Amino acid sequence: MKRSIASSSKGNVYKRSRPDIEHDFEQYHSVNKKYYPNPITRKGANQFNNMSRAKPIEILEELLRKHKTSLQDASTVIHWFRNDLRSSDNVGFYKSVKLFQQLKQRDASAKLYAIYIINEDDWRAHMDSGWKLKFIIEALKSLQESLAELHVPLLVWEFHTLEGALSNSKKFVEFFIEKCISLSSGKPMIISANIEYQTDELYRDIRLLEQEDQRLQLNFYHDSCIVAPGLLTTDKGTRYSVFTPWYKKWVLYLSRHRKSGSEICQLHKIEPLKYNESFKLEPFQYSLPEEFVQYIPKLKWCLPDVSEAAALSRLKDFLKTKSFKYNNEKDTLCLGGTSNLSVYITTGVISTRVVVNEASHTCNGQIMSKTLKDNSSIQNFIKEVAWRDFYRHCMCNWPYTSMGIPYRLDTLDIKWENDPVTFERWCIGNTGIPIVDAIMRKLLYTGYINNRSRMITASFLSKNLLIDWRWGERWFMKHLIDGDPSSNTGGWGFCSSTGIDAQPYFRVFNMDIQTKKYDPKMIFINEWVPELRHSENQRPINYPEPLVDLKHSRERALEVYKDAM
């Protein structure tokens, strides 16, 4: 059902914070049946747990082990960019360049290409936000320019089908083979790409590895994590499901693999050469269809500078001016005390190896203190980056968490209230709880909210409102500029007590205390809920009564959760 956000509010005072946008709220209630007609069940999830069904990452790695790259007869190397939109410190691209240089010694006419494939159905199925897609398109243009300096053409292909197929479909594989073969003029080629850890994407790569055309030799690399999923196990060889011991191992792994005198993370530098002899830059023409940008307010919105250089300069600026205050300021809602790097990291414009290396310079390479609780600001910043790795490790180990099923299967029994009107009021920031409304309006208006804001609103939705956390998770994906399936699912699982290493179910944020701690002077609330600005202690007539009583809704959540767990 489509509703206009402005028309559902009283009066026009909300205009600053709530753009007049039509929303189809029902799309957040369940998985998209068009793309997922047979969603995975608890039984299917259990098959992964009791190992009667292989995890996609294991299938992929097994196929890769069997695969041997041969330069024999090959004359083309292709790097397939996905969510790694950068030329520097990119494992797959680095390997492509190295292979190409070897090939070139044998065959002077060898060619090196870069490709990116747009499949709008993947975006629809994954509910990518307009903010993020706009960023990606601009980042691609910037990447095309930086690759041009290396004489490497970046070709952007579009995959469309009438019925709407995902990239793990047979049709996509056929399309891919045909396009690659035409690019290499029918000759054998080597194709490299970096692994994406969501289930759909892993199955896409598995299908590609299983295709039988000998002319395509595919290599997939671990790139997006600092420590690849699967490398860290407990001393008993089991997978970690708690962050802190995993993080300590992560730090240990980095120190053990560090060569003396070198950086914490090894980077992948390519020489700034002109790789292909003949080269012509052909800018790609693609504009996002209206359906993807419909939720972006039509008011002025400036895309941040999307280039790799801009990401690095944002990082350096943060390290110089804010990082030492991170422990104290990261949660304060009006301060912007965090790096704001997430969109660059999510789309791969900067690698987290570079982030950690640069950050480690400011703590003399000591990325964790002896006792965790004494971590300095910069060490805690690095720890947050480690959370991102951890959530990828979890998604690989419990693949059903990227298929709409919570890590904790018992929480499937929670009797959510799932009132659609209550959900809509949460979405548009009209719950009558100022801190929640301010955050939700900021999300709608800007596409970005900090971690504390995400935790507050996720806790409120899943606990005080008793709405299935997956509705909120989808809303976040559709509206966040940095929407990332593993961090988003991980964050929602944490806050709703349904996920891995989650908050205990009886931890329900008290919105009054959160306000006192993180917006004590009401600066943030007054900015985003202007109708409260001059209200003293009285509720203005144009601001709604609270949707729920905080104390009563907390008690109700405890009962409902307890019944299920």
Q: Which residues bind ligand FAD (CB under 6 A)?
A: 330, 338-342, 345-346, 384-385, 387-388, 391, 450-451, 454-455, 458, 476, 480, 482-484, 487-488, 490-492, 495
Query: Is 3 annotated in some ligand binding site?
Result: no
Query: Is 20 annotated in some ligand binding site?
Result: no
Alpha-helical regions (H) of 257-351: 290-293, 308-321, 326-329, 342-347
Which is it for strands 216-221 and 189-194: parallel, antiparallel or unpaired? Answer: parallel
Query: Is 385 annotated in some ligand binding site?
Result: yes
CB of 133 to ligand FAD, least distance (A): 14
Spatial distance between the Cα atoms of 230 and 196, rounded to a whole number of angstroms = 14
Per DSSP, 461 falls in state I
For ligand FAD, the closer of residues 331 and 437 by Cβ is 331
CB of 449 to ligand FAD, least distance (A): 7
For ligand FAD, the closer of residues 175 and 390 by Cβ is 390
CB of 42 to ligand FAD, least distance (A): 23
Say how many residues make up the chain: 565
For ligand FAD, the closer of residues 458 and 467 by Cβ is 458
**536 backbone φψ class: left, alpha, beta (φ>0; ψ -120 to 50):** left
Spatial distance between the Cα atoms of 208 and 211, rounded to a whole number of angstroms = 5
CB of 344 to ligand FAD, least distance (A): 8
Query: Is 337 annotated in some ligand binding site?
Result: no
Which position's Cβ is nearest ligand FAD?
A: 491
CB of 530 to ligand FAD, least distance (A): 24
For ligand FAD, the closer of residues 391 and 518 by Cβ is 391
CB of 135 to ligand FAD, least distance (A): 13
For ligand FAD, the closer of residues 184 and 375 by Cβ is 375
Spatial distance between the Cα atoms of 329 and 322, rounded to a whole number of angstroms = 9
Alpha-helical regions (H) of 481-547: 485-495, 511-518, 523-528
Coil vs helix vs strand at 484: coil
Query: Is 120 annotated in some ligand binding site?
Result: no
CB 315 within 8 A of CB 188: no
115 by Cβ neighbours in 10 Å (0-12 / 13-18 / 19+) ranks as buried
**Residue 257 CB neighbour total at 10 angstroms:** 12
For ligand FAD, the closer of residues 175 and 469 by Cβ is 469
Query: Is 389 annotated in some ligand binding site?
Result: yes
For ligand FAD, the closer of residues 95 and 478 by Cβ is 478
For ligand FAD, the closer of residues 204 and 392 by Cβ is 392
Query: Is 340 annotated in some ligand binding site?
Result: yes
Query: Is 444 annotated in some ligand binding site?
Result: no
For ligand FAD, the closer of residues 23 and 392 by Cβ is 392
Alpha-helical regions (H) of 55-90: 56-66
CB of 354 to ligand FAD, least distance (A): 12
Q: How would you list the strands of the sheet with 216-221, edge to edge?
A: 154-158, 111-118, 76-81, 189-194, 216-221
- Residue 538 phi/psi, 5-degree rounding, is -100, 145
CB of 367 to ligand FAD, least distance (A): 13
Spatial distance between the Cα atoms of 421 and 57, rounded to a whole number of angstroms = 39
Hey, what are 439's tokens? 């955050």
Angstrom distances, CA of residue 76 to CA of 15, 97, 274, 282? 54, 11, 16, 19
CB of 393 to ligand FAD, least distance (A): 12
Hey, what are 166's tokens? 């995902």
Hey, what are 507's tokens? 């931890």
Angstrom distances, CA of residue 437 to CA of 188, 504, 546? 57, 25, 10
CB of 342 to ligand FAD, least distance (A): 3
CB of 225 to ligand FAD, least distance (A): 11
For ligand FAD, the closer of residues 451 and 542 by Cβ is 451
Spatial distance between the Cα atoms of 284 and 115, rounded to a whole number of angstroms = 11
Spatial distance between the Cα atoms of 84 and 89, rounded to a whole number of angstroms = 10
CB 191 within 8 A of CB 219: yes
For ligand FAD, the closer of residues 153 and 406 by Cβ is 406
CB 496 within 8 A of CB 505: no
In the annotated binding site for FAD, the residues are 326, 338-342, 381, 384-391, 482-484
